[in-house]
Chain A
Amino acid sequence: MKRKIHLLCSLIVVLIVFSASPASALSEAYKKNIYNPGRLKPTDSVLKVTVGDRAPNFSLPSLSGERISLSQYRGNKNVVLSFVPAAWTPVCSDQWPGYNIVEDLFKQHDTILLGITVDNIPTLFAWTNQMGKLWFPVLSDFWPHGAVADTYGVLRSDGTAERALFVIDKKGIIRFINVNDINQRPKLEELVQALEGLGG
């Protein structure tokens, strides 16, 4: 009897979980070129850094052709690292375009945004072209594959990155971390609050 009840309850849970598709109001800007991987495990990695740690330095190629190092902003600017899982996927495609219209919010807090994925440069080029001209650098953590994501502890077991935000102050100290449910976009106000918390 107990087994039957367990089975029934499990069926209900499974049904409810799978009836809820990953919510995303995908922009028509991408036409039908977005691959939908379906609902994914919300997080699939273990952070290797914590708030208060010195942010590990890295140097990655950017879309503009130059290499960008985290250390080049030390003493000059606060930095937001925005890891997104992969190009041409639903939620990722509707995240950076939002950041693209709030450059003023980042500037207000003397902050640069660095967008990072584990895709290669040609893929990032084609994908971000659909977003309009981005004001922030887009970096490729493609090779060694996902090395920077792994250093921060946001590389998933399938080789994509988590949907994660790191706010790093001018001294290079991590002040905010959000490893979001990969199926959802982080709320903009949470990032803005983190920027406000940086002070002058």
Chain B
Amino acid sequence: MSKIARRMFIVLSAAAFWAALLVSLVLANAAPPQPGGLLPGFKLPIPEQAADKEYLGLTTTGSFTIAQIKAQVVIIEIFSMYCPYCQREAPEVNRLYEIIETNPDLKGRIKLIGIGAGNTPFEVQVFKGKYSVPFPVFSDEDFTLHKAFGEVRTPFFIGVRINDDGTHRVFYAKLGGIEGAESFVKLILRLSGLEQEKKP
């Protein structure tokens, strides 16, 4: 091996080493979202189902960020079809959706999505079908998002306020169930600041 090639190899190896170290530290330090903070940077695929696409107010194909959802508040449920707590909670989360969708003051302003941690697209659809989940659910098959969310246990709910300028802010992040759909709606309205605002 020539001197230059040897040096290059050493430099590249060292760079790879530090890159691996950095990646491991970032993964190890990913903390669950906190109220007042931001979501980790991620995109989701735009759903193929027209109803889901319409619900989220997305018109293009490809991928989208949470802030691109046509809503003032987005509730994200991190769940798993293998999680008994999520299974028990599913009817109450569906009720939360119904309460929002049947209230003219809330419909269109608060949207729900689910992210199936470690679930394949097939598994996510099994959960959706089993519990007749009316809102869009997404697969996080390789736990990429789950790791970015600090490897939270499930179910984990995150409330995100979408601002007019396209920025966002997490205002709610909690492990466990929603503890009653009605009271959860009130909590979300209060914490997001939506209760003081009139429907645009």
A26 contact set on B, CB distance < 8 A: 83, 153-154
A130 within 8 A of B: yes
Binary interface encoding of chain A residues 1-22 relative to chain B, with 1 for a CB under 8 A from any of its CBs, else 0: 1000100110110011011110
Q: Is the interface of A mostly helix, strand, loop or mixed?
A: helix
Q: Is the CB of B122 within 8 A of A24?
A: no
The reply to whether the CB of B126 lies closer than 8 angstroms to some CB of chain A is yes
Contacts of A18 on B, CB cut-off 8 Å? Answer: 24
In the bound complex, CA of A8 to CA of B14 (Å):
8
Instruction: Choose among A12, A24, A94, A188 the residue that contacts B126 (Cβ–Cβ < 8 A).
Output: A188
Supposing A19-B24, A23-B146, A23-B147 touch, asked if A131 and B84 sit within 8 A by C-beta, the answer is yes
Q: A19-B27, A25-B143, A26-B154 are in contact. Are A189 and B17 (CB under 8 A)?
A: no
CB-contact partner of B81 in A8, A21, A101, A132, under 8 A: A101
Question: In the complex, which residues of chain B have a beta carbon less than 8 angstroms from the beta carbon of A27?
Answer: 80, 82-86, 153-154
Interface string of B112-151 (1 = CB under 8 A from A): 0000011010110011001000000000001100110001
Is A185 an interface position by the 8 A CB rule?
yes
Of the residues B17, B120, B175, contact of A28 by C-beta under 8 Å: B175
Residues in A whose Cβ lies below 8 Å from that of B84: 27, 29, 97, 100, 130-132
Residues of A whose CB lies within 8 Å of any CB of B are 1, 5, 8-9, 11-12, 15-16, 18-21, 23-29, 94-95, 97-98, 100-102, 130-132, 185, 187-189, 192
15 contacts between A and B (CB under 8 A): A5-B9, A8-B14, A9-B13, A15-B24, A16-B23, A23-B147, A25-B82, A25-B146, A26-B83, A27-B80, A28-B153, A98-B80, A98-B123, A101-B126, A189-B123
